[in-house]
Structure formats: C-alpha cells, structure tokens
C-alpha cells in the first residue's frame, strides 16, 4: 500500500514558522489532508485538499503539495500549536485507500 | 452540529472480541460513510475500514480482513465496529470518523474508545 513519510519531530520558537513535510511517491497528484492532535484528544482537521482550511481554523495554517512532498506550514507559531500533526491521502487504486503518515510531534520551544 | 458519541473503555483478554459503538447525531447516519481509525500507544493513526450505513456496504483494510465487522442500527443511528481474536497489539484507542468537507477527509471524529488487552 501507499506509504507516507513524516519527520518524527519538528521544533520551532514562538513567533517563527514551522514546516512539516509529508513525503510520498507522486503525492502531488493526490489530495492531502492534515490533522492536529493534542494529547488525550481526537484529531482535528486543519487543512484539506492540500491547502483549504475548514471553518474555524486560523489563517496561520496553510498547506502546499507538489512532486513528492506535501507541506503543512504554521506561521507565527504559538504555544497552543504544540501537538502531533498527521498527513493523510486517499489512494483510489489501493485495497487500503485511506493512508496516514506516521505523525510529527511539533514542539514549541 | 454533527456529533459522534462512542462507547466507553473496554478491557478484554487475548482471544476475546470487542464491540464498540458510535452514535451519530445532527445528521441522518445513512447519508454518509463512517470510518474506523485506531491509534496504538505512542503511534500514528491507522485506518481500519469504512461502512456506508445507507446500504450496509463495507470495505476493510487487508490487515483486519476476517477479524473486523462493521454494522449499523439505523433505528438508533449507531454504527458498530467489532474486532475479534484480540491480541496484545490490538490495545489502542479506536475512533469513528466521517467526511464532511469532501469525500476523503475526516471532518468529524468521535472522542475515542480505549481498548486494553491483557490476560
């Protein structure tokens, strides 16, 4: 099945920009979704279809997708952004169509 | 407001089965797909399968084929996920989730159900 690769951890100082990557073979031809998960909570969708923010998600969250890498960018990082972030795609030709990356722990220094 | 309310924590012995419920409110459960996703301690998210309550159609991830069953009671808008032949590595938080802003992203999630497997 399709494999998505995320860095285990990313660290950033408050006010700076965090970039979390999600690698996959020709991922640029798929729609990528991103979830934020805080400890003890269910995931929350923060970006879908590569770059669309659901209602209520701050403009500081943005996404891009091209080639073999999708990226979630968090601008002006705040302490409350510290969480795990998971990417996900739908692989229409697979017998395991919904695929998640391994998750990235974002630490705000 | 769409909500998915899951049943409480379970403790099971190896070899047993567990059946978790996910009750939908706010919309007709037969109108959309319901997925199940699990997360082992300290691990990432793992998709288990999907059901369409309107028809009873199911698709299971190959890893769980033969051990998982997803069903729906439309009279109570409740979807069930049963996992059999439990082993220690099935200890995880199990979530139900459904699309809401497109067919392939999970916009709504249940609160999760912790399943412990121990002899």
**Mean pLDDT in residue range B98-107:** 92
Contact A77, A99 (CB under 8 A): no
In this complex, the residue of B62, B97, B111 whose CB is nearest that of residue A96 is: B62
In order, the DSSP letters of B14-76 are: TT--EEEEEEEESS-GGGS-EEEEEE-TT--EEEEEEEETTTTEEEE-TTTTTTEEEEEETTT
With beta carbons under 8 A apart, name residues in chain B contacting A31. 102, 104-105
Detail the DSSP E strand segments found in A2-103. 9-12, 18-23, 32-37, 44-47, 61-66, 69-74, 83-90, 98-100
- Say how far apart CA A24 and CA A88 lie, in whole Å: 10
pLDDT digits (tens, 9 = 90+) for B14-31: 999 999 999 998 777 888
Percent with pLDDT over 70 in chain B: 100
pLDDT tens for A62-103 read: 999 999 999 999 999 999 999 999 999 998 888 888 999 999
Tokens of B4: 């998915």
Q: Closest Cα partner for A32 from B105, B34, B117?
A: B105
Sign of the CA dihedral B108, B86, B18, B59?
Answer: positive
**Per-residue pLDDT, A94:** 83
Q: For residues B77 and B24, is the Cβ–Cβ distance under 8 A?
A: yes
pLDDT for the residue B12? 98
Span B25-47, average pLDDT:
92
What pLDDT was estimated at residue B28?
Answer: 78
Residues above pLDDT 70, as percent of chain A: 100
Tokens of B91: 């200890």
A contact residues 41-70, partner B, Cβ 8 Å cutoff: 42-45, 48-49, 52, 54
What is the predicted pLDDT for the residue at A1? 82
Dihedrals φ, ψ of A37, to 5°? Answer: -135, 115
- On the question of pLDDT at B1 being above 80, the answer is no
CB nearest A86 (choices: B44, B97, B101):
B44
Q: Mapping DSSP to helix (H, G, I), strand (E, B) and coil, where does residue B5 land?
A: strand
What's the first-to-final CA gap in chain B, in angstroms? Answer: 40
Distance from CA of B40 to the nearest CA of A (A): 12
């Amino acid at each position: 099945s399709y494999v998505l690769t995320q860095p285990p951890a990313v660290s950033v100082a408050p006010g700076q920009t965090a970039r979390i990557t999600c690698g996959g073979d020709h991922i640029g031809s798929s729609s990528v979704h991103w979830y934020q998960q805080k400890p003890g909570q269910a995931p929350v969708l923060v970006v879908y279809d590569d770059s669309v923010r659901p209602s209520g998600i701050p403009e500081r969250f943005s996404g891009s997708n091209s080639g073999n890498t999708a990226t979630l960018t968090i601008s002006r990082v705040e302490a409350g952004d510290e969480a795990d972030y998971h990417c996900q795609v739908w692989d229409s030709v697979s017998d395991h169509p919904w695929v998640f990356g391994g998750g990235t722990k974002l630490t705000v220094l | 407001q769409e909500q998915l309310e899951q049943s409480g924590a379970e403790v099971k012995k190896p070899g047993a089965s567990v059946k978790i419920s996910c009750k939908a409110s706010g919309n007709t459960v037969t109108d959309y797909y319901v997925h199940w996703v699990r997360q082992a301690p300290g691990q990432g998210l793992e998709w288990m399968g999907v059901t369409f309550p309107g028809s009873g159609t199911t698709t299971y991830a190959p890893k769980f084929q033969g051990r998982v069953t997803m069903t729906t009671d439309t009279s109570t808008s409740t979807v069930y996920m049963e996992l059999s032949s439990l082993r220690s590595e099935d200890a995880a938080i199990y979530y139900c989730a459904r699309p809401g802003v497109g067919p392939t992203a999970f916009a709504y999630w249940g609160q999760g159900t912790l399943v412990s497997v121990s002899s």
